[in-house]
Structure 1
Amino acid sequence: MPLRELERIAAVNRFLKLKISKEQELQEIVELAAKICETPTALITLIDADTQHIKFKVGSQLETTSRTDAFCNYAIEQYQVMMVPDALLDERFKNNALVTGDPDIRFYAGSPLTTQDGLNLGSLCVIDQQPKDLNELQQRMLAALSKQVIQLLEFDSSITILKEQFVAAKRSEIELRSFFESSIDCHLLIGKNFEVLAFNKSVERMVYTAYNKAIVRGSDMGQYVNPKLKNEFYDSYQKALKGTASFEQRKIIYGDRQIWWVIKYEPAFNPDGEIIGVSVNSTDVTARVKHEETVTAQNESLRQIAFIQSHELRRPVASIMGLINLLKSDERAACIEEIQLMEKAALELDEKIRLVVGYTADDTGANSLQAS
């Protein structure tokens, strides 16, 4: 099946599912078409892959027909009014079930329902059980009415799509807002004039805690920044506004509390890629900083222990070894068993101290790596 036909069928199926709000207007168009063309029957049809669906009608009880029997199946192959003055004299239709049986069609004229992208979905047609012809004015009026039909249908389709998009956008907005508000990080959007555009509850709480006032959308951001940090904050804001992101780690004091923050300044873009402001996102890293400080203090303690072990503990051993060497210089004392045992014990003690110092140094290095 050609791609264009697949697109046409997809559009027909969309219109078949459409909840039509202009039913009265469309019914009036059908009745007007029958009156203008002086026929007992007029229909608005939509044709899918296999079936002709009769959506609005006057002078007929039909709801559907097969596509192969539908006169409108030929009408949708062109972009102007198709007219069959006498079906019994037309090779295409003289043996058609709708001609040889009910509703006994002899005359047919149909104008295609053409969408804005050129797809013919069905037709506005008029039918008679007697041979006849339409004059030029009647044909023009039928074509004009068919355009009005498709405009009403496309209007309803557009409204439906807009409603669906609105609902989807609203759902996405709610989900995003929920994430935005529940985040423990501080998220703030500042406009191109340094005005507050948006913020989450974490920012709201932080500002109230620090300055005992509520942050307000549209207000100047400067009043919510520590005066000592305002110049640096504004410089980072200006860089981000020009497209350069930056971040910093800073300690900020709130009364008797101090909090370490990692603050990121990033340009905020609209869907067209234009910078509309600056996104400031702050994460509380106080726990991490305190952990690093604890590890650093522990490492320093271990270094001191290693120093003590290396110097204070080994000093007596060195003295003992010195005395032993002096005694060994005396040939008579060198062979005394107690001196030999004392030397062996001193060497073993020195080796154990070296091992302890080595373990302590390794732990210090491991903790340093862990802290980094």
Structure 2
Amino acid sequence: MAIKDLERLQALHRFLNLEIDKDAELQEMIELTAELLNCPIALITLIEGDTQYFLYKVGTDVEQVSNSDSFCRYLNLGNDLMVVTDTHKDERFASNPFVTGNPNVVFYAGVPLTTHDGHLLGSICILDVISREFTPVQSRLLRVLAKRVIQIMEFEFSINLLKQQFLQARDAETKLRSFFESSSSCHLLIDRDMGVMAYNKNMASFLKRMYNVMLKQGTHVNQILQGPALESFTTDFKQALSGKTITFEREVNYKNGERIWWYVAFEPGFDAEGKIIGISYNATDITARKVNEEKILAQNSSLRQIAHMQSHELRKPVATILGLMEVLKLDHSPEMTEEMYMLEETTRELDDKIRMIVNMIN
């Protein structure tokens, strides 16, 4: 998630901590409905399966009814208000047990509770035991009250959704921060305008020590680097903004005399939609590795010199012996005994080994 989104959710924190008692609000709404419309019974109902639940009510102790006995089952998404002035004269309700028996309902008016995306949840309705007319003003008022009920319900849903998003964002931020701080490298997140969005403690302490810069969100790169260093950084930054990943190793000599080898990576940073919003800059101190590599190279060079010198020094007496053997053979000297021939063979074997060593070091 983008840093700006995190900041937006953090700004909502006080709002998300509001204590909202939905049940009390809705009960107060239905009591107000009964009072304003002067009816003894008023209900906010929710439909689930084959049952209609009376969650908020005035004038009845009934908790739920079957949909087959429900007045509100005749409400639908295309009918925003249904009024029955006399249930005895309406064949849909004349035999309803709540008409023929307690509480002997005669009048009914209801509005469906429909979400903004078109789902029918239930209804808000009023009932009376006498026949009555329902005026246009009363009809409008019941519609307004229905909208207010839906607003309260969806507001709670929105609050819970925002809380979930906030917790997820905070968890993501915590993990990101944990990663940043657990790394021995120096990390920066930089926006498209080269302003610092996030950083770890290693980077902050390094910049304070080397450049006497107090790093904070919004610090511009040109407040840290100048001259050729800034130009080089800007070049790599622009390439990363184009979508390329730039990596290299570089030795830097600082004003305080320190010499540090860095492995540096410029990587494009993306938002949730895949748009490049900045770059990730990571620098790892590889000085110890480089020093070891230099030592190994120096040692290898010394070993080559020693081996070269030793091999040539050893070949001198070997070459001398082989030369004498050739002279004796040319003179057909009687002194060439079988032991001397064995000495010649052994010397040639030694010469071959020395040549092999020379070839290996070259």
TM class, shorter-chain normalised?
0.7 to 0.9
State whether residues 84 and 109 of structure 1, in contact with CA within 8 Å, keep that contact through their aligned partners in structure 2: yes
Q: Which runs of 5+ in 2 are unaligned?
A: 1-18
Alignment partner, residue 221 of structure 1:
221
CA distance in 2, matches of 1:239, 1:332: 81
Equivalence for 2:65:
65
Deviation, 1:167, is 2.7
- Give 2:312's aligned residue: 311
Instruction: State, as a whole percentage, how many aligned pairs show the same letter.
Output: 45
* Distance across 1 between alignment mates of 2:145 and 2:216: 55
Structure 2 partner of 1:143 = 143
1:94 and 1:295 mapped to 2: Cα distance?
A: 101
TM-score normalized by the length of structure 2: 0.80
Following superposition, the deviation at residue 222 of structure 1 comes to 3.2
Preserved contact between residue 21 and residue 156 of structure 1 (Cα < 8 Å): no
What SS class does the counterpart of residue 42 from structure 2 fall into? Answer: strand
Q: In the alignment, which residue of structure 2 is the partner of 1:183?
A: 183
Partners of 1:182 and 1:231 in 2: CA distance: 30
Q: Is the 8 A contact 2:82 2:110 kept in 1?
A: yes
C-alpha distance 68-351 of structure 1, shift in aligned 2 (>3 A): farther
Contact 1:333 1:339 survives alignment (8 Å)? no
**Cα RMSD (Å) of the superposition?**
3.2
Query: In the superposition, relative to structure 1, how do residues 77 and 87 fare at CA in structure 2: closer, same or farther (>3 Å)?
Result: farther
- Secondary structure, aligned partner of 1:331: coil
Q: CA deviation at 1:268?
A: 4.3
The whole-number CA distance in structure 2 between the counterparts of 1:157 and 1:216 is 37
- Does residue 164 (structure 1) correspond to residue 164 (structure 2)? The answer is yes
CA displacement, residues 191-219 of structure 1 (integer Å, 9 cap, x when unaligned)? 55554443221111211222345334444
C-alpha displacement of 1:47: 1.1
Equivalent residue number for residue 209 of structure 2: 209
In structure 2, the residue corresponding to 1:333 is in which secondary structure? coil
Range moving further from structure 2, 200-209 or 117-126: 200-209
TM-fit CA distance, 1:168: 2.4
User: What aligned pairs does 1:156-305 form with structure 2 within 5 A after superposition?
Assistant: 156-191=156-191, 194-225=194-225, 229-240=229-240, 245-254=245-254, 255-269=256-270, 276-305=277-306
**Residues 213 and 224 of structure 2 are in contact (CA less than 8 Å); yes or no, is this contact kept in structure 1?**
no
Q: CA deviation at 1:227?
A: 5.5
Is 1:328 aligned to residue 329 of structure 2?
A: yes
Change (3 A) 1:298 1:57: same
Alignment of 1:80-91 (within 5 A): 80-87=80-87, 90-91=90-91
Q: Give the deviation of 1:342 after TM superposition.
A: 0.8
Instruction: Compute the displacement of 1:97 (Å).
Output: 4.5
C-alpha change, 1:222 and 1:30, in structure 2 (3 Å) is closer
Greater displacement, 212-221 / 287-296: 212-221
Partner of 1:53 in structure 2? 53
**Cα pair 1:188 1:203 within 8 Å, conserved:** yes
Structure 1 position 122, deviation (Å): 0.6
In structure 1, distance between residues paired with 2:313 and 2:95: 119
1:109-128 matches, within 5 Å, as 109-128=109-128
